[in-house]
Homo-oligomer: A and B are copies of this chain.
Amino acid sequence: MAPIGDSTPVALLPGHDEHLTAAIESAGGVLVALEDAHVLVWAGGVDDFPTAIPDAVRWVALKLAGIEEFMAAGLIDDRRIWTNASGFYAENVAEHALALLLAGLRQIPAAVTSRWDKQVIDTTIRSLHGSTVAIIGAGGIARSLIPRLVACGAEVIAVNRSGRRVDGARETLPAERMDEVWSRCDHVVLAAPATAQTRHLVDESVLAALPDHAWIVNVARGSLIDQTALLQAIRRGEIAGAALDVTDPEPPPADDPIFDEPRVIITPHVANPASGLTRTLAPWIAENLRRFRAGDDLVSTISPDSTY
């Protein structure tokens, strides 16, 4: 399918990117216009995606990890191979999730704001060491996060669709038994895709079931949390706080009260910073291009009926 021996014609759109260019060229690709391409590496979002992809394009590589907008727009077809970047950014997102969890437990933003209010900070700090963390969604982020949490002396309960054992987790529960997890964990990390099933996964009843010292971390999508219920639960002391890299809506309006709640830590959807994104993606594009040229299966393929 792909010319072996010769260079593979690859369109890199929209615009230039040094990391992806170097990766494509290192793996036997040559940059061409879309009409001459066998591969499209699309480093943009859904809005300016080309309306017509030539039939000669046998593989479209998307830069994004969360591709629900491409799905919703019906862009993912079965006439060619599609890949997303799910998993490639997992290390970075897992690191941010750990940073958020520790920032909450160790009260770091509160300490900065309070300018050495030792009495209050000292008594509200909790240790990750010895705690149990539930990770909802056991994909690449969870696989990267679990060894970090275990090294910090925490135990993990993983929740995934199948309930198939996740390496490093103390136990794994299938999604249909998710209700059991809330009262048995100390803290929660959300790392599941946004689907109809995961919308408002954390709602009033979940918040009531969690222990009052619980921190919730969300590095997935804002829609997974009923944000009104979250803010209420925090104000009532039903949980200790939330550290969110994603919100609903996103960004929150400038006057959203969630910005004023000291027990909510918000970072602006930067778990996988856009500024370093193509550098992170580049080796994976190179790997997939080598596979494509060799006729091997690609990594991180998606299809129109992907349920993630």
Please report A residues at the B interface, Cβ cutoff 8 Å: 91-92, 95-96, 98-100, 102-103, 105-109, 111-112, 114-118, 121-123, 125, 127-129, 147-148, 150-153, 251-252, 254, 259, 265-270, 273-276
Contacts and interface: CB of A to CB of B under 8 A. Distances in A.
Contact of A122 (B106, B122, B153, B273): B273
A118 B268 CA distance: 5
A109 B108 contact: yes
Contacts of A267: 106-108, 111-112, 121
Given A99-B99, A122-B273, A125-B276, 12 more contacts: A95-B152, A100-B106, A103-B109, A106-B267, A108-B265, A116-B259, A122-B270, A122-B275, A125-B270, A125-B275, A148-B151, A151-B152
Contact of A99 (B106, B123, B276): B106
Given A273-B122, A275-B122, A151 B150 contact: yes
Contacts of A116: 251-252, 259, 266, 268
B102 A268 contact: no
A153 to B, nearest CB: 6
A127 to B, nearest CB: 6
A59 to B, nearest CB: 28
23 contacts: A91-B129, A95-B102, A99-B105, A99-B108, A102-B103, A103-B103, A103-B109, A108-B265, A109-B109, A111-B267, A111-B268, A111-B270, A112-B265, A115-B254, A115-B259, A116-B268, A122-B268, A122-B274, A123-B273, A125-B273, A148-B148, A148-B152, A151-B152
Contacts of A121: 267-268, 270
A118 B152 contact: no
B251 A129 contact: no
Contacts of A108: 99-100, 103, 108-109, 265, 267
Contacts of A109: 103, 108-109, 112
Contact of A98 (B115, B152, B265, B266): B152
A122 to B, nearest CB: 5
A117 B276 contact: no
A249 to B, nearest CB: 11
Nearest to A253: B116
Contact of A123 (B125, B147, B153, B275): B275
A105 B99 CA distance: 9
A101 to B, nearest CB: 9
Contacts of A259: 115-116
A111 to B, nearest CB: 4
B273 A112 contact: no
Contacts of A128: 95
Contact of A106 (B95, B123, B152): B95
A127 B268 contact: no
